[in-house]
Amino acid sequence: MNKSQKISVIVFPGTNCEHDTKYAFDMLGQDVELVWYEEETLPSDTYLVVIPGGFSYGDYLRAGSIAKFAPIMKDVIRFANSGGYVLGICNGFQVLLESGLLPGAMKRNQNVHFISKHHFLKVESNKNKFLSELENGDLLNIPIAHAEGNYYIDDKGLGSLIENGQVVLTYVDKNGNDLNPNGAVNNIAGISNVNKNVFGLMPHPERAMEEILGSSDGVKMLEGFIR
C-alpha cells in the first residue's frame, strides 16, 4: 500500500457520512481532512476528493441540486477537470451528477420508498483506479441507503457509457443475476466519467469495512485509490 496520501472529504449542511468515510480511510492508513463547504480551495496536497453520503441541504428541490453551488465545488470541479481523483458516494454521486462531472440524473426510487439494506453488486469494469483491486465479475455485498437512487440516462448516453466502459458497478443478487432495488437504468449502481478519474456510486463502501458490520467488501474498493 502506498504511503499516506491526503483524502479531502467534503462536508455540506446535511452531510451525515463524513465520519464514516474518514474512519474508512483512516483504517487504510491515509491522511484524511474534513473540508467545510464554505471553503473556496481544497488542501493543496489533496490526492482524492470524496463527497460522502447524507442529505446535503435537506435534499431540497432535489438531491444534490443546491450543493453544486457551494463555494468548495468550484475547486472540486477544477480539481476533477485537471485529472484529480473524485469519488461521490450516495448523496455525493447525486452532487456529481448535478454538477455535470458525471452524466445522467437521479430520480426517486421506483417504489417511492427509502431503501436501507445490504445489496450485492457486480464489478462490470475494473479498468480504472477505483476498482483496480477487483476483477470483472466479482460480487460485493455493500449497504445501500437512499430514496433517490433511480439512475437515469437516455439511450444515446447509455450507449456511450457502455462503449467507454463507464458502467463500473451493477445491482445483482448473491448469484450474480440482475436484481434492481430502485429502477435504475440497466441496473446501474456506479459509473465513471470518460477519463476514469471521477466516480459515483449509490452504495456505501465506507460502511462495509469490517465483518462485524456485515461485510468488509468495501475495503478492496477503497484500496484501489491508494495502491
Find out whether 87 and 49 touch, Cβ atoms under 8 Å.
yes
Let me know if 17 is a catalytic residue. no
Place of cell 420508498: 113
Compute the distance between CA of residue 64 and CA of residue 53 in angstroms, rounded to an integer: 10
Q: Look at residues 131, 157, 146 and name the one whose alpha carbon lies nearest to residue 203.
A: 146
User: Of 98, 124, 148, 206, which is the active-site residue?
Assistant: 206
Centre a 10 Å sphere on the Cβ of residue 169 and count the other Cβ atoms it contains: 28
User: Of 17, 124, 146, 204, which is the active-site residue?
Assistant: 204
- State the cell numbers at 63: 438531491
Let me know if 19 is a catalytic residue. no
User: Of 17, 90, 98, 146, which is the active-site residue?
Assistant: 90
Q: Look at residues 48, 26, 27 and name the one whose alpha carbon lies nearest to residue 35.
A: 48
Find out whether 32 and 5 touch, Cβ atoms under 8 Å.
no
Residue 113 buriedness (CB in 10 A; 0-12 / 13-18 / 19+): exposed
Let me know if 90 is a catalytic residue. yes
Centre a 10 Å sphere on the Cβ of residue 129 and count the other Cβ atoms it contains: 18
- CB contact set of 157 (below 8 Å; sequence gap of 6+): 103, 104
Active site residues: 90, 204, 206
